[in-house]
């Protein structure tokens, strides 16, 4: 679990660096698919990760829209604000937490029960999926995307 | 680990069904990003998953190119051929296998050592990333993509 979160955070950091060389209008440009833009995707990833981590702790959710975060600097700042709490949750994570329950309500009033283990994997997959969308948009603007490889990132590799 | 593989296989199956309603020329059309096309992506996902699973078992790799698999039927057939071996490997997977070693050689001759745990997560992330690319191309041809949600797939959810 921890390796996949660390992978996502490394890749996300690589995308922030990638964004530094891209004009802001390209980062904000409306695009087809996903949430419709590069920076908006990064904001959405942070938002969703934090919201689920907050939910599992029974703390209030993040409710703001992308409108207030339309620059790389603001998105990075938000990430830096949220990361310590997410990091602490992950640090404390152990197999015994897998079956803890989060109750949620669907718009139609149906009660839904998720396990924390399921939510953690959902958060992981959510980020990787959206990063895949960024990789297409990167090519559309003629730039090589960040590598999505999990190997060769030093997450548990040794070179001899 | 198993949940994320099962998630990927469910999503992949959903994409096969999604492809049934899409003309073959759209499935084969050259697109920007990734490996450059919808069906080619599904072939690539199967290829990479199987190749790593074979590698961890020290068995020969899959060496064929997409040229021989340019229809939904052929890709599905290949998947069905490979799935039992991948499934058996996953079924036998346990935490004690995390640190097993796969040795590989880089093109420059450097020896690289990967742990099996790292490779398993790489395979998981690889598929999710490429499926993210499919979701953009789906919108480009005006179709709603398959849901990437890991929750609400019955992977460990209970509804009351």
Domain ranges of chain B: 2-140
For A:48-107, CB contacts with B below 8 A are: none
Checking if the pLDDT of A2 tops 60, the result is: yes
Q: How far is A73 from chain B (nearest CA, A)?
A: 25
CA-to-CA dists, residue A149 to A14, A93, A99, A103, B130, angstroms? 12, 24, 30, 34, 11
pLDDT of residue B66: 97
Q: Which residue has the tokens 């073959």?
A: B24
Three-state SS for B89?
A: helix
Nearest CA in chain A to B106: A159
**Which residues make Cβ contacts (< 8 Å) with residue B40, sequence separation at least 6?**
B28, B66
Give me the torsion for CA of A75, A61, A107, A42, rounded to 10°. 20
**CATH code assigned to A2-140:** 1.20.120.450
State whether residue A144 sits within 8 Å of chain B by CB: no
pTM: 0.95
> Could you tell me what percent of chain A has a pLDDT over 90?
88
pLDDT at B62: 86
Q: Count the helix, strand and coil residues of chain A and give each as a percent rounded to the nearest 5.
A: 60, 10, 30
Q: How confident is the model at residue A104 (pLDDT cuts 50, 70, 90)?
A: confident
- CB-based contact A124:A8 (threshold 8 Å): yes
Provide the pLDDT for residue B156. Answer: 76
The alpha carbon of residue B117 is apart from the nearest alpha carbon of chain A, in Å, by 9
pLDDT given at position B56: 96
Alpha-carbon span B107 to B111, nearest angstrom: 10
- CB-based contact B146:B14 (threshold 8 Å): yes
Predicted-complex ipTM score: 0.95
Q: Does B137 sit within 8 Å of A132, measured CB to CB?
A: no
Mean pLDDT of A92-104: 94
Q: Across chain A, what does the average pLDDT equal?
A: 94
CA nearest A23: which of A131, A143, A127? A143
pLDDT tens for A67-84 read 999 999 999 999 999 999
Beta strands in chain B (DSSP E): 101-105, 111-115, 158-159
Q: What is the pLDDT along chain B (160 residues), one digit of tens a residue?
A: 899 999 999 999 999 999 999 999 999 999 999 999 999 999 999 999 999 999 999 999 888 999 999 999 999 999 999 999 999 999 999 999 999 999 988 889 889 999 999 999 999 999 999 999 999 999 999 999 999 999 989 887 444 3
- Residue of chain B minimizing CA distance to A34: B136
Query: Cβ A121–B150 below 8 Å, yes or no?
Result: yes
Minimal Cβ distance to B128: which of A115, A128, A155? A128
Q: Which of B33, B145, B149 to mutate to test the interface with A (most CBs of A within 10 A)?
A: B33
Distance from CA of B142 to the nearest CA of A (A): 10
Specify the 3-state DSSP secondary structure of B151: coil
**Chain-chain contact of A4 with B34 (C-beta, under 8 angstroms):** no
| A151 in B contact zone (CB under 8 Å) | yes
Output the CA torsion A122→A128→A132→A134 (10° steps).
110
- A3 to B117: CB separation less than 8 angstroms, yes or no: yes
Cα separation of A55 and A107, whole Å?
17
Average pLDDT over residues A110-134: 96
Report the pLDDT averaged over residues A50-68.
94
The predicted structure's pLDDT at residue A61: 87
């Amino acid at each position: 679990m921890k390796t996949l979160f660390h992978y996502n955070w490394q890749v996300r950091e690589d995308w922030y660096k990638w964004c530094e060389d891209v004009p802001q209008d390209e980062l904000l440009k409306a695009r087809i698919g996903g949430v419709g833009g590069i920076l908006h995707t990064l904001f959405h990833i942070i938002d969703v990760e934090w919201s689920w981590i907050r939910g599992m702790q029974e703390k209030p959710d993040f409710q703001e829209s992308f409108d207030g975060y339309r620059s790389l600097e603001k998105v990075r700042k938000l990430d830096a604000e949220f990361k310590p709490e997410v990091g602490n949750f992950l640090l404390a994570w152990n197999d015994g937490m897998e079956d803890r329950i989060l109750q949620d309500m669907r718009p139609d009033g149906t009660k839904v029960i998720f396990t924390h283990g399921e939510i953690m994997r959902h958060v992981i997959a959510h980020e990787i999926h959206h990063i895949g969308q960024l990789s297409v948009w990167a090519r559309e603007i003629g730039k090589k995307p960040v590598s999505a490889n999990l190997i060769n990132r030093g997450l548990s590799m040794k070179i001899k």
